[in-house]
Structure 1
Amino acid sequence: MTLAEAWRAARPPAAGVHLDSAACARQGFAALEAAAQHARHEAEVGGYVAAVAAAPVLDAGRGAVQALTGMADAEVFFTTGSNHALDMLLADWSGDRVIACLTGEYGPNLAIMGRHGFETRDLPIDAFGRLDLDAVGAALSNDPPALVHLTMLGSHSGVVQPARELAGACRSLGLPLIVDAAQAFAHLDCTGIGADAIYSSSRKWSAGPRGVGVLATRHGLLSEATRLRIAHAETSVASHVGFSVAIGEHIAAGPANIQARLRDVGAQTRRALADVAGWHVREHIDEPSAITTLTPPDGVDAAAVRANLIVDHGILTTFIGVERAPNELTRPALRVSPHVDVTADDLETLTTALATVTRV
């Protein structure tokens, strides 16, 4: 059985064509059943007793996060999602409130930075929006920020950022680096980056439940007060169990195998979409991610296209408004993000529907 076949067999059948893993991938039977079993156990013995019983599964989940980030000694905390993790990190920060990030930083991240009083500075980028490694060292050393934040793979773009190289530059200058891996975790190789903190969500490429995320930090980064607050916060243990099972399945399938397949999926998707009249594929065909963004023809409303694809064709994609990257995007787009189980027929269905919907 191929990886794609195994992935498909481990999940309920999709109701249509699911090309939206960057928003919310499809959970598998094992994760769904594990979360349901824990919820039933809570009803039988009480939530706190059930949480104690679930400790080995949760510890395995934390261990899996350490393995997938290459942070063997990291403290790993479950969160409610990526925004929650960044909010905790910045609220806890006691130094100067100046943070360097990409021009195409995720809009909600910028809002969190602003809410905590951070001044943002742009990291240098090239014409594709990728970090300019030739210029970043000088930019950081000439006027050092207090923190550096890198979104490794954007919500609005399939361009992969050179996280390891930035981490090396930050390390040489003694600057803490936070990596947003919401789109990178269980999608790209996140091991050995060398960041001080990496955070992600459950619901995207790792195909866990919604409302769960994870934060891995080096020891000593978070204050004791924040660590205690996390430890005593109200949580959905059932969701944590589901997430832990999902990332365990990811490791069992082979992260390198999944990464390779997703690179192929990205290239296959861009080749298929390159011939749809009027639509422009933003990424290079060989960009090593499975996220493809499409700029619509002039006069075509991407939000209306997304809705039409769902209602009339049973195809799930994402509308990308400019608010996702307000300092970089000038036009809305459509995002296509299939997982390892996508078929050539799925992509042909999409290209035919796009041509039908836009009639260019």
Structure 2
Amino acid sequence: MSLGEQWRSARPKVAGLHLDSAACSRQSFAVLDATARHARHEAEVGGYVAAEAAAPVLDAGRAAVAALTGLPADHVVFTTGANHALDLLLSSWPGERTVACLPGEYGPNLAIMAANGFDVRALPVDGHGRLDVDTAARQLGVGPPAVVHLTALASHRGLKQPLAALADVCRDLGAALVVDAAQALGHLDCAVRPAAIYSSSRKWLAGPRGVGVLALHPDLASRLRPRLPPPEWNLSLTVIERLQHGEANVAGRVGFSVAVGEHLAAGAEQMRARLAEIGRWTREALNDVPGWRVVEPLDEPTAITTLTPTGGADPQKVRAWLIDERGVVTTCAEVQRAPFELTAPVLRASPHIDVTRDELAQFAEALADATAEAG
């Protein structure tokens, strides 16, 4: 049985055609069962007793995240999602609050940066929106910001950013690299040992919604000043304990731990290679659909394919028609997703490793029909 067939057989039968893993992937039976079992255990013995019993599973989840990021397991913090993780980090930041990021930075990230008082400056990019590493190195060398922030794979454009090369630049300059890996963890190689990296559970790792993760380099963790509990209380809590202070959906964290474990068991490198292959298949299938232009290069090693309308089609209406008439789930990426790069909405397809060429051909046919009917 192929890797894709194994992935599909491990999940409930999909109702239609799911091409939206960059938004929310499909959980496996094992993840669903682990989440439900923990919730049941809470009802049987109480939430806090159940949480103590789940500690080994959560530790295994932290260790799996550590393997994917190159950072220590005891510096992995569970959060409610990627946005929460970034807010936790930036609200705890010591000293100067300046950040350099791509012009196509994710809109909600920019909002969190602004809310935490960070002055944003742009990193240089090429004509595709990919980081120009050499120019960035010179720019950062002249006036390094407090934070160099890189979204390794954007949600509105499936371009692989040169994460490893930027990590080398930041390491040489002593700059703090923070990585948004919401689309990249489980999709691209993220084991670059940055100052911090954060992600969500629900995308390519196929965990539950409402769970995320923040992993920290010990050097950065030692300098952070979390808001809660107030530092002046002088409680005997470590920075990591303070960052994960508060109420938690432990069942979701258990499910995420199982999901990331499944990913490693399947083979992270094999998963990356398969996703790259799926991306090529998708672009080949969609390249000649009338009224649309595929944004990414054919061989871009990601499974996110973005479509720009060329004949006036409305991506939001097309998305709705595909769901209502054919059961095909995609995403309409609005301008606010990347407010300083996108000029109009785009349609995004993001199948996981179980998609077949026949299904992609069905999607191409459905997209042509949707464009004629709803565009």
Same fold (TM over 0.5): yes
What fraction of aligned residue pairs are identical, expressed as a percent? 60
Contact 2:322 2:329 survives alignment (8 Å): yes
Cα distance in 2 for partners of 1:262, 1:220 equals 33
Query: Aligned residue for 2:84?
Result: 84
CA drift at 1:117: 1.0
Cα distance in 2 for partners of 1:210, 1:38 equals 16
Residue type of the partner of 2:199?
A: S
Q: Which runs of 5+ in 2 are unaligned?
A: 227-238
Cα distance in 1 for partners of 2:260, 2:199 equals 12
Cα distance in 2 for partners of 1:179, 1:145 equals 15
Cα distance in 2 for partners of 1:188, 1:145 equals 26
3-state DSSP of counterpart to 1:329:
coil
CA drift at 1:224: 6.2
- Name the TM-score, length of structure 1 as normaliser: 0.97
Residue type of the partner of 1:194?
A: R
Cα distance in 1 for partners of 2:49, 2:150 equals 39
CA deviation map 1:149-183 (0-9, x unaligned): 00000010100001111111111111101000000
Query: Aligned residue for 2:23?
Result: 23
Query: Aligned residue for 1:7?
Result: 7
Bigger CA drift: 348-357 or 54-63? 348-357
Query: Aligned residue for 2:170?
Result: 170
Cα distance in 1 for partners of 2:74, 2:328 equals 40
CA deviation map 1:283-323 (0-9, x unaligned): 00000100000001332111000001000110000001111
Q: Evaluate the alpha carbon distance shift between residue 231 and residue 278 of structure 1 in structure 2; reply closer, same or farther with a 3 A threshold.
A: closer
Bigger CA drift: 294-303 or 266-275? 294-303
- Name the TM-score, length of structure 2 as normaliser: 0.94
Contact 2:158 2:303 survives alignment (8 Å): yes
Residue type of the partner of 1:105?
A: E
CA drift at 1:220: 4.1
Contact 2:282 2:360 survives alignment (8 Å): yes
Query: Aligned residue for 1:194?
Result: 193
Query: Aligned residue for 1:75?
Result: 75
Q: Evaluate the alpha carbon distance shift between residue 59 and residue 337 of structure 1 in structure 2; reply closer, same or farther with a 3 A threshold.
A: same
Give the alignment's Cα RMSD to 1 decimal: 1.2
CA deviation map 1:3-41 (0-9, x unaligned): 111111000000000000000000000000000000000
Q: Note if 1:247 corresponds to 2:246.
A: no
3-state DSSP of counterpart to 1:286:
coil
Q: Which runs of 5+ in 1 are unaligned?
A: none
Query: Aligned residue for 1:219?
Result: 218
Following TM superposition, the consecutive aligned residue runs of length 4 or more in structure 1 with deviations greater than 4 angstroms are none
1:28-39 matched pairs, under 5 angstroms: 28-39=28-39
1:279-290 matched pairs, under 5 angstroms: 279-290=292-303
Q: Note if 1:347 corresponds to 2:360.
A: yes
Cα distance in 1 for partners of 2:159, 2:244 equals 35
Cα distance in 2 for partners of 1:61, 1:164 equals 24
Q: Evaluate the alpha carbon distance shift between residue 227 and residue 194 of structure 1 in structure 2; reply closer, same or farther with a 3 A threshold.
A: closer
Contact 2:92 2:225 survives alignment (8 Å): no
1:1-360 matched pairs, under 5 angstroms: 1-72=1-72, 75-191=75-191, 193-222=192-221, 223=224, 225=226, 227-359=240-372
Contact 1:21 1:337 survives alignment (8 Å): yes
3-state DSSP of counterpart to 2:41:
helix
Cα distance in 1 for partners of 2:349, 2:143 equals 38
Contact 1:78 1:240 survives alignment (8 Å): yes
